[in-house]
Amino acid sequence: MPDHRNRLQGLFSVENRYANFGNLLMRIKIQGFRCHDLTIIDIENPITAFCGLNGTGKSTLLQLAAAAYSKIDSENRRYYIKDFIVSGILDPAPFKTDAVVEYGYWQEERTIKTVYIKRSESEKRWAGYRSQPQRTVYFAGMGLYLPKIEIRDFVLRNASNISVLRTEPLAESSKNWACKILGCSYDAMENNEVKHNDRKGEVVTVIRAGNKYSEANMGCGEGRTQHIIRRLQTLPDKSLVLLEEPETSLHPSAQHEFGKYLIDVCIEKKHQILISTHSEYLLSALPSASRIYLDRSIVGLRPIKGITTAQAISLMTEGHDKALHILVEDEVAGAVLTEILRKADYAFLKSVKIHSTGDTKTIHSVMKALKDTGLPVAAVRDGDKNDSPADNIFKLPGGLAPEKELLGSANVIDFFREKYEFDVPGFSATMKDIDHHEWFAHLAERISINKNALIQQSAECYVENLSANNRDTITSLLKESLRK
């Protein structure tokens, strides 16, 4: 069975992009809004899913994206920045005085047109909207759908007295997708136009196992799913769809099926869809090019594109669930690998766990045992051993055991000379007949320092002098092992 994720990516190719999706958003650059000092989002798929910890600006991205287009006709509203980001007595500075949003739109000639929305302090308003292209925008925030039983609207309050003006079946595709997502079977799904006195509204009813019931007797997940499906199916083609946590109230398999539905409706209706989510099940249904993790640190936000689902979940659990377990021979190899990953990609380091397991034979047996459990696992052997990338077995840079690499490094030698007034080459000459695994224990005793601290200091100095290519290569191989 063909993978619709590949088909969707094919529709997004440079040659087909404008014909299929029109003037979609290709770039959003945000400066000076809430937690976004400077955030650049480049779009690489018609569906973009923002994930990350709370407070990383996912909602802000969707809200500013909603203000990217002018409306096509009077039936569809347009959004402005002021609709979402409001300043006042309790919110004196949700944006800086020089805040700006840069929108990049795909053009028929395969270029990107840029429009800037800036704050005019003299007029106390946002300027630049007139240059925006037209497109239907559908924004579905967390208040998109509340169960009838909670909002107690006129339909519920007058359930025995409403008049049904019109009933028509919903599209068969909508019914089929609702059934697939929710894991149930509907005999029929209908939309009913109802009236009571001078008020009118619409209510969905379903027939399931011979029983008919309306939204008034549906759970939140069931009603919300049907509502979103109806809206996405009836929107004009090539709309911009923005969904806040669409997995809300859905069980895990339903979340995964909803992700597959987004791909299907994107292919069918040529919508561009941006969502915020915390769901590993929804993320796993989407193409890797769709996933963007917003990594928060003291220096600001960093979008990580193409993140694996396992790594995203590891980061969102703040390392509680590890995306990858990496086996090394000993603590020295572990320290070197840790520092390599810290330099190359600290976010990736936070999503892995490094285990010291012993010699090569032990690594192979432990790898097999962990693979049998289904845990994602890779191994990094010493530089003097062979690797086997096809089996997720890699090696450290250099051609020597890590103890020899570290104590032969000019950076490490200089560090020991300056900090401890110690001659490492002279020490190494005395260690020729001693197993290199014991070198750091002897060295720690010589200069009266904790062995683990000594290994850590040495690893930092050694990795500092490694080329970026060496660091990036082993990091990329480990990341790639997650995709196998």
168 and 186, same domain (yes or no): yes
Q: Which helix H or strand E contains 6, and what residues bound it?
A: helix 4-11
186 and 301, same domain (yes or no): no
80 and 161, same domain (yes or no): no
pLDDT for the residue 1: 52
Residue 248 counted as domain residue: yes
Residue 63 in contact with residue 85, Cβ under 8 Å?
yes
439 and 475, same domain (yes or no): no
End-to-end CA distance of the chain: 19
The number of beta carbons lying within 10 Å of the beta carbon of residue 254 is 22
End of a domain among 305, 340, 358? 305
322 and 283, same domain (yes or no): no
The DSSP-derived string for 431-448 is TTTS-GGGHHHHHHHHHT
What confidence tens digit (pLDDT) does each residue in 279-307 have? Answer: 999 999 999 899 999 998 887 888 999 88
**80: three-class secondary structure by DSSP:** coil
Residue 223 counted as domain residue: no
Residue ranges making up the domain that contains 323: 318-400+466-481
End of a domain among 218, 245, 270? 218
pLDDT for the residue 369: 67
Residue 227 counted as domain residue: no
pLDDT for the residue 419: 92
Q: Which helix H or strand E contains 300, and what residues bound it?
A: strand 300-305
Strands of the sheet with 199-208, listed across from one edge = 163-169, 188-196, 199-208, 211-214
Q: How far is residue 239's CA from residue 22's CA, in Å, rounded to a whole number?
A: 10
Q: How far is residue 107's CA from residue 105's CA, in Å, rounded to a whole number?
A: 6
Q: For the domain that residue 359 is a member of, what is the CATH number? A: 3.40.50
Residue 328 counted as domain residue: yes
333 and 371, same domain (yes or no): yes
45 and 192, same domain (yes or no): no
325 and 445, same domain (yes or no): no
Q: How far is CA 45 from the centre of its chain?
A: 13
Q: How far is residue 171's CA from residue 234's CA, in Å, rounded to a whole number?
A: 10
Residue reference for tokens 């909603």: 66
Q: For the domain that residue 277 is a member of, what is the CATH number? A: 3.40.50.300
Residue 312 counted as domain residue: no
**7: three-class secondary structure by DSSP:** helix
pLDDT for the residue 263: 96
127 and 261, same domain (yes or no): yes
User: How would you write the pLDDT of the chain (484 residues) with one tens digit per residue?
Assistant: 568 899 999 999 999 999 999 999 999 999 999 999 999 999 999 999 999 999 999 999 999 999 999 988 777 789 999 999 988 899 998 999 899 999 999 999 999 999 999 987 776 789 999 999 999 999 998 887 777 777 788 888 888 888 889 999 988 988 999 999 999 999 999 999 999 998 998 888 899 988 999 888 888 899 899 889 989 998 999 999 999 999 999 999 999 999 999 999 999 999 999 999 999 999 999 998 999 999 988 878 889 998 888 888 888 988 788 889 899 989 999 999 999 999 999 989 999 999 888 776 777 777 776 666 667 889 999 998 888 888 889 999 999 999 999 999 999 999 999 999 999 999 999 988 898 889 999 999 999 999 999 999 999 999 999 999 999 999 999 999 887 6
Q: How far is residue 36's CA from residue 40's CA, in Å, rounded to a whole number?
A: 9
pLDDT for the residue 372: 65
352 and 429, same domain (yes or no): no
Q: How far is residue 407's CA from residue 61's CA, in Å, rounded to a whole number?
A: 48
Query: Taking Cα atoms as reference points, which of 83, 47, 86, 88 lies closest to residue 67?
Result: 83
pLDDT for the residue 365: 72
127 and 268, same domain (yes or no): yes
Count of domains in the chain? 4
pLDDT for the residue 73: 76
What confidence tens digit (pLDDT) does each residue in 198-216 have? Answer: 899 888 889 998 899 988 8
Residue 284 counted as domain residue: yes
End of a domain among 305, 331, 350? 305
Q: Enter the pTM of the model.
A: 0.83
395 and 407, same domain (yes or no): no
Name residues whose C-beta falls within 8 Å of residue 3's C-beta, 6 or more positions apart in sequence. none
What confidence tens digit (pLDDT) does each residue in 419-464 have? Answer: 999 999 999 999 888 988 899 999 999 999 999 999 999 999 999 9
**Residue type (1 letter), 164:** V
Q: Which helix H or strand E contains 157, and what residues bound it?
A: helix 154-157
Residue 119 counted as domain residue: yes
pLDDT for the residue 35: 92
Residue 228 counted as domain residue: no
Q: 67-79 burial, b if ≥16 CB within 10 A, otherwise e?
A: bbbeeeeeebebb
Residue reference for tokens 């929305």: 117
pLDDT for the residue 373: 64
Query: Taking Cα atoms as reference points, which of 340, 379, 335 lies closest to residue 469?
Result: 340
Side-chain-facing half-sphere of 331: CA atoms under 13 Å: 13
Name residues whose C-beta falls within 8 Å of residue 419's C-beta, 6 or more positions apart in sequence. none
Residue 287 in contact with residue 259, Cβ under 8 Å?
no
